[in-house]
C-alpha cells in the first residue's frame, strides 16, 4: 500500500524531529527526570510537528520500560501507540467535537483508570475550535485531573485560547522549520526512495513550503509524479507556476545594460505568469545576490530595486493591472540606475580636481562706514548752554544787546557769497544801543537782476560755536547678550500690551547688567511715567522671568534731549541792498530750552512706586496703604484672622510703630 511521504516518514522518536530541538530536548529531560506536568499545549505553524510530537510523547509515557525519552518500540504499548490503536491514548479532533456535550463525555472518561497502561492520555487537536462553554466545562478538570490523566492540547492559533486555559498548561511553541533543514530532509527522503533530483529544484520546493515540512513533502510527492521520477528545475517551476531563476538573471542583466528591446520581450513572455509572483521571485533573487556577496550588484542598487518592487506590490494591492504594474516596475528599475549616490559624486569631483590649484579664497565681511556723517547729532543741554552767548531780552519795542557782533558791510550787492561772509567776519563790530530796529524794505535795482534775493538771508556763525561743537564720529553699537535679553523684554511687553510696550521702548534705555542688577535709564515723565508706575508689577515680573529671579532693577532718571537741529546758535541778518544805507542786523532771541527740574525728576520709578505702597510715606495721598489702621479693628482684618487661625497663638499683642 502506497503512503504519502508525510505519513510514511512521520517522526517516531524525539531524535527524528526536524528543527524543533528546544521542544524535543525539554520533553526528553522532563521524561528522564520524572518532572512531568498534567497538561501540555503545543502551538505553531501547520506541519511543524505538533501532532507527531504529541504521539511520541504519549508513547514515551506508556512504554513498558517506564517513562523514558527513548521508548523501546518493541513492547506492546509502543507498537499499539505506533499503530494509533492504543485504548488509553484518546485522540480527539476539536474541530468536529467542539460542543459542551463532547467535553462532558471526555470528562466522564477521566473518572476511569486506564485499561492496561500507566496513564490515560487525551490528545485534543485544534483545541482553539472549542466553544466558550466547552472551555469553561474543561477548566476544572484541566486544572486538577486525576493522577493517571495527562492532557496534550495542540493548536495553530494560541491567541484564540482563553487565558485560563493557557495558565493551566505548559506551553511549547513550535517554530518554522528553516529552509536548509527542509532541503536536507528532502534529499534524505529522495535518496531513500531512489528518486533522481536537482538541488535547485528541491531548493525551490523547500522555499515554497514556507517553513512547513508537511507542505514541502506534499509538493515533493507531486513533483515526483509530474517529473517521472526525476525532479528538475523546469518540472518544478512549471508545476508551481513560477518563473525560472535563469529568466530572472537575464532580466537583471538586461536592466543593467538598459536594453529596452529585451525588456519588452520579457514583458511579453511574462504574460503567462502572475505579476505578483514575478515580483516576489525577483525579490528573493535579489536577496540571494546580496547574501552571496558576488559583487554583481552593489547594495545601493539592490536597495533601489527593492524600493521599486515594494511600491509596485502596493499598487497591485489596490487592484491595478498586473502587466502594467510589472512594466512600470521594470522601467523604473532601469531608470534608477541613472541616479548617482553622493560617494560616487564626491569621488568624481576629486578626480576632476586632481592637479588643479585652488587659490586661497579670502572671505571678507562688510564693515560699517563710520566716516559718513550722522543724520542726527544729539547735543546735551549743558553743551548748548555753554556755547550760547548771554542774551538779555527786554521789551519788544526796545532791545539792548551787548557784545553782539553785527555785520556793517553794505556793499554785498555785487560781491560773491564767499566774499560777503569773509567781510562780515572781519568787519568791525558796533554795539547797538537803544535803537528801534525796523524792517528794511529793499527794492531791486532796475540794472540788477532779481537773483540777488537769494543772498539776502545769510548765516553768520559765532566763533565760539565753531570751536566747541564738534560732531563725534559714530561708532557701531556693540550688541551684548544682555542687550538681546533686554530687547526680548521689550518684545514681551509689546506682546502683552502694545501701548505699554511703546511707552517702555521710547522711555527706557538699557545700560548694564552686572551682579544681578539691571541698570537702565528712564526719561519717562507725565502720562508715560504714570503708565509705567501703573504696570510696574507686570514689568518687574517679566524682568525676573528673563534676567533671573534674583534680579534687582536700578533705575537712573535722565532728562529728555531736545532736538537742536534748528538751534538758535546762528544769527540771521538782513543786509541792506541800497548803497549809502547802514546795514543793521536784526538779532534773534537765543533762549536755551528750559527743562523742568525738580526733586521728583531725580527719583526713580521704583522709588516712587515703593513710596506709594508704604504706609509711612507723607506723600502717599489717599491710597489704602497710607491710611493708619485703627488698633481696635485690626484684629477684624481678613489677613489677621487667617494668621490667627493658622498659628493659633495664646496671646496677640498689637504694637504701634513709632
What is the predicted pLDDT for the residue at 380? 56
12 plus 150 within the same structural domain: yes
Cα angle for residues 67, 72, 77 (degrees, 5° grid): 70
| CA–CA gap between residue 508 and residue 556 (Å, rounded) | 10
Domain end position, chosen among 297, 312, 341: 341
| CA–CA gap between residue 367 and residue 498 (Å, rounded) | 35
230 plus 161 within the same structural domain: no
- Do residues 42 and 154 lie in contact, with contact meaning Cβ atoms separated by under 8 Å? yes
pLDDT tens readout for residues 387-446: 655 544 444 444 344 444 433 333 334 333 334 343 333 444 444 344 444 444 444 444
Beta bridge pairs of residue 585 = none
138 plus 190 within the same structural domain: no
What is the predicted pLDDT for the residue at 644? 86
Instruction: Answer whether residue 47 is part of any domain.
Output: yes
Q: Which residues of the chain have pLDDT under 50?
A: 357-366, 368, 370, 372-376, 378, 391-471, 473, 476, 563-620
What is the predicted pLDDT for the residue at 52? 92
Instruction: Answer whether residue 562 is part of any domain.
Output: no
- Name residues whose C-beta falls within 8 Å of residue 37's C-beta, 6 or more positions apart in sequence: 30, 169, 170
82 plus 155 within the same structural domain: yes
Per the structure, how many domains does the chain have? 4
Domain end position, chosen among 240, 257, 274: 240
259 plus 289 within the same structural domain: yes
What is the predicted pLDDT for the residue at 614? 43
Whose cell is 472518561? That residue is 109
327 plus 214 within the same structural domain: no
448-451 long-range contacts (CB < 8 A, ≥24 apart) are 448/413
152 plus 109 within the same structural domain: yes
Instruction: Answer whether residue 377 is part of any domain.
Output: no
Instruction: Answer whether residue 148 is part of any domain.
Output: yes
109 plus 61 within the same structural domain: yes
Could you list the residue range(s) of the whole structural domain that residue 215 is in? 180-240
What is the predicted pLDDT for the residue at 578? 36
Q: Is the pTM of this model over 0.85?
A: no
Question: Beta strands 149-155 and 170-174: pairing type?
Answer: unpaired
Whether the CA torsion 75, 81, 84, 90 is positive or negative: it is positive
Report how far apart, in Å, the C-alpha atoms of 195 and of each of 9, 186, 191, 229, 344 are.
15, 11, 6, 6, 52
What is the predicted pLDDT for the residue at 238? 85
| CA–CA gap between residue 58 and residue 154 (Å, rounded) | 13
Instruction: Answer whether residue 455 is part of any domain.
Output: yes
Domain end position, chosen among 175, 191, 213: 175
What is the predicted pLDDT for the residue at 23? 92
Instruction: Answer whether residue 49 is part of any domain.
Output: yes
- Do residues 20 and 48 lie in contact, with contact meaning Cβ atoms separated by under 8 Å? yes
Instruction: Answer whether residue 521 is part of any domain.
Output: no
- Name residues whose C-beta falls within 8 Å of residue 335's C-beta, 6 or more positions apart in sequence: none
What is the predicted pLDDT for the residue at 658? 53
What is the predicted pLDDT for the residue at 592? 40
10 plus 135 within the same structural domain: yes
201 plus 302 within the same structural domain: no
Q: Residue 255's domain is classified under what CATH number?
A: 1.20.272
Q: Residue 111's domain is classified under what CATH number?
A: 3.40.50.300
| CA–CA gap between residue 180 and residue 166 (Å, rounded) | 33
146 plus 70 within the same structural domain: yes
Instruction: Answer whether residue 648 is part of any domain.
Output: no
Q: Residue 196's domain is classified under what CATH number?
A: 1.10.8.60
Kindly state the cell numbers that stand for 166: 493557557
225 plus 259 within the same structural domain: no
What is the predicted pLDDT for the residue at 171? 94
Amino acid at each position: 500500500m502506497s503512503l504519502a511521504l508525510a505519513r510514511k516518514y512521520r517522526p517516531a522518536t524525539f531524535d527524528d524531529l526536524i528543527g524543533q530541538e528546544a521542544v524535543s530536548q525539554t520533553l526528553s529531560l522532563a521524561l528522564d527526570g520524572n518532572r512531568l506536568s498534567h497538561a501540555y499545549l503545543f502551538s505553531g505553524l501547520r506541519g511543524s510537528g505538533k501532532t507527531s510530537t504529541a504521539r511520541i510523547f504519549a508513547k514515551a509515557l506508556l512504554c513498558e520500560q517506564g517513562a523514558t525519552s527513548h521508548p523501546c518500540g518493541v513492547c506492546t504499548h509502543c507498537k499499539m501507540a505506533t499503530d494509533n490503536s492504543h485504548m488509553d491514548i484518546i485522540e480527539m479532533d476539536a474541530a468536529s467535537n467542539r460542543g459542551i456535550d463532547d467535553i462532558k463525555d471526555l470528562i466522564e472518561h477521566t473518572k476511569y483508570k486506564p485499561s492496561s497502561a500507566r496513564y490515560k492520555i487525551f490528545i485534543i487537536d485544534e483545541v482553539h475550535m472549542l466553544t466558550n462553554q466547552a472551555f469553561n466545562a474543561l477548566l476544572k478538570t484541566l486544572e486538577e485531573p486525576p493522577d493517571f490523566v495527562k492532557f496534550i492540547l495542540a493548536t495553530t492559533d494560541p491567541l484564540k485560547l482563553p487565558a485560563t486555559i493557557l495558565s493551566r498548561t505548559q506551553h511549547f511553541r513550535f517554530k518554522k522549520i528553516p529552509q536548509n533543514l527542509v532541503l536536507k530532509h528532502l534529499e534524505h527522503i529522495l535518496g531513500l526512495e531512489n528518486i533522481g533530483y536537482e538541488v535547485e529544484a528541491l531548493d525551490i520546493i523547500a522555499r515554497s513550503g514556507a517553513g512547513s515540512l508537511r507542505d514541502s513533502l506534499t509538493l515533493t510527492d507531486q513533483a515526483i509524479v509530474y517529473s517521472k521520477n526525476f525532479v528538475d528545475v523546469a518540472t518544478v517551476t512549471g508545476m508551481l507556476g513560477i518563473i525560472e531563476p535563469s529568466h530572472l538573471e537575464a532580466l537583471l542583466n538586461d536592466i543593467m545594460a538598459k536594453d529596452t528591446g529585451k525588456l519588452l520581450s520579457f514583458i511579453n513572455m511574462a504574460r503567462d505568469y502572475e505579476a505578483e509572483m514575478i515580483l516576489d521571485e525577483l525579490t528573493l533573487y535579489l536577496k540571494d545576490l546580496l547574501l552571496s556577496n558576488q559583487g554583481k550588484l552593489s547594495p545601493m542598487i539592490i536597495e533601489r530595486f527593492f524600493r521599486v518592487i515594494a511600491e509596485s506590490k502596493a499598487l497591485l494591492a489596490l487592484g491595478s493591472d498586473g502587466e502594467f504594474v510589472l512594466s512600470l516596475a521594470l522601467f523604473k528599475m532601469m531608470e534608477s540606475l541613472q541616479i548617482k549616490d553622493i560617494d560616487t559624486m564626491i569621488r568624481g569631483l576629486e578626480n576632476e580636481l586632481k592637479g588643479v590649484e585652488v587659490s586661497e579664497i579670502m572671505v571678507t565681511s562688510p564693515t560699517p562706514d563710520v566716516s559718513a556723517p550722522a543724520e542726527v547729532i544729539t547735543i546735551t543741554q549743558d553743551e548748548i548752554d555753554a556755547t550760547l552767548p548771554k542774551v538779555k531780552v527786554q521789551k519788544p519795542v526796545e532791545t539792548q544787546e551787548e557784545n553782539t557782533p553785527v555785520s556793517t558791510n553794505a556793499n554785498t550787492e555785487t560781491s560773491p557769497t564767499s566774499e560777503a561772509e569773509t567781510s562780515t567776519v572781519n568787519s568791525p563790530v558796533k554795539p547797538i544801543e537803544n535803537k528801534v530796529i525796523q524792517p528794511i524794505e529793499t527794492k531791486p535795482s532796475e540794472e540788477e537782476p532779481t537773483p540777488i534775493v537769494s543772498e539776502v538771508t545769510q548765516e553768520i556763525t559765532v566763533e565760539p560755536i565753531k570751536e566747541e561743537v564738534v560732531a563725534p564720529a559714530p561708532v557701531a553699537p556693540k550688541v551684548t547678550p544682555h542687550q538681546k535679553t533686554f530687547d526680548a523684554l521689550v518684545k514681551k511687553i509689546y506682546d502683552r500690551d502694545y501701548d505699554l510696550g511703546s511707552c517702555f521702548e521710547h522711555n527706557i534705555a538699557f545700560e548694564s547688567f552686572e551682579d544681578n542688577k539691571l541698570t537702565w535709564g528712564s526719561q519717562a515723565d507725565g502720562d508715560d511715567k504714570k503708565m509705567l508706575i501703573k504696570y510696574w508689577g507686570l514689568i518687574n515680573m517679566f524682568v525676573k522671568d528673563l534676567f533671573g529671579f534674583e534680579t534687582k532693577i536700578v533705575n537712573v532718571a535722565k532728562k529728555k534731549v531736545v532736538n537742536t537741529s534748528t538751534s538758535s546758535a546762528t544769527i540771521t541778518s538782513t543786509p541792506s541792498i541800497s548803497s549809502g544805507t547802514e546795514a543793521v542786523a536784526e538779532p534773534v532771541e537765543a533762549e536755551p530750552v528750559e527743562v523742568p527740574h525738580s526733586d521728583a525728576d531725580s527719583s526713580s520709578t521704583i522709588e516712587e512706586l515703593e513710596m506709594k505702597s508704604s504706609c509711612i510715606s507723607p506723600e502717599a495721598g489717599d491710597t489704602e496703604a497710607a491710611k493708619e489702621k485703627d488698633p481696635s479693628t485690626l484684629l477684624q482684618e481678613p489677613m489677621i484672622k487667617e494668621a490667627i487661625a493658622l498659628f493659633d497663638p495664646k496671646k496677640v499683642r498689637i504694637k504701634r510703630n513709632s
